[in-house]
Amino acid sequence: MNQKDHWQQVYSTRQTESLGWYKPHLATSMSWIKALNLDLEDPVIDIGGGASTLVDDLLELGHRSITVLDISDNATSTARRRLANKAELVTWIEGDITSIDLPTSYYALWHDRAVFHFLTEQEQQQKYRHNLLKSLKPGGYLVIGTFAPEAPAICSGLPVQRYSQEQLVKALGEEFELMRHQKELHITPGGVEQMYIYCQFRKIA
């Protein structure tokens, strides 16, 4: 089963609130995003945003240029139904971040919680990085959360690549300046402990 089929099945057979990465609100991400004081017209993209409530919270803050990208349209359909008429204010993209063509030097903020760590092959990681470098404008920000070394080696039936702060810095490359980082323990709806590393970067090249 390929990645798309896997996630389509996950979102069609399980309630969002039961999924391992589910949180009612991404408090750390939202706190960091608010602290950036972005213009509300600045383009923001949520990679793997799917059924996440980050888009709800960004709309509540008044952001007016939000894109949600996910490989599963079953995931984004969940968010669209939840948002009802507000869904029309969001750009929804169904696609694989390792192959999709995104606009050049466009986004002021790239957010990713729990996508990058599912890319376990070097080629996938390089393609992700290529898209990130291409579409994030100079001076733009990256907020990313991945499994830390203490986290399980598998999530949602798939292997993951776990990162320390230093490994994530190296993987993303010298074009990104680390601004802040912290670990955060996530407890899944099923009671499993998953340690995350959150990092915020600024694109300097």
Q: Where are the beta strands (DSSP E) in the chain?
A: 44-47, 66-70, 90-94, 107-113, 136-147, 154-155, 158-159, 176-187, 193-203
Distance between first and last Cα of the chain: 38
Please determine, for residue 20, whether its predicted confidence score (pLDDT) is greater than 60: no
Range of the domain at 16: 3-203
pLDDT for the residue numbered 24: 74
DSSP string over 127-170: HHHHHHHHHEEEEEEEEEEEE-TTS-SEETTEE-----HHHHHH
For the chain, percent of residues with pLDDT exceeding 70: 90
For the chain, percent of residues with pLDDT exceeding 90: 76
Place 16 in a pLDDT band, splitting at 50, 70 and 90. Answer: low
Q: CATH number of the domain that 89 lies in?
A: 3.40.50.150
pTM recorded for the entire structure: 0.93
pLDDT in tens, 142-198: 999 999 999 999 988 889 999 999 999 999 999 999 999 999 998 877 788 899 999
pLDDT for the residue numbered 2: 72
Bridge partner residues of 184 (DSSP): 196
Coil vs helix vs strand at 125: helix
Give the mean model confidence (pLDDT) for residues 127-142.
98
User: How far is residue 7's CA from residue 34's CA, in Å, rounded to a whole number?
Assistant: 30
Place 25 in a pLDDT band, splitting at 50, 70 and 90. Answer: confident
- What total number of domains does the chain contain? 1
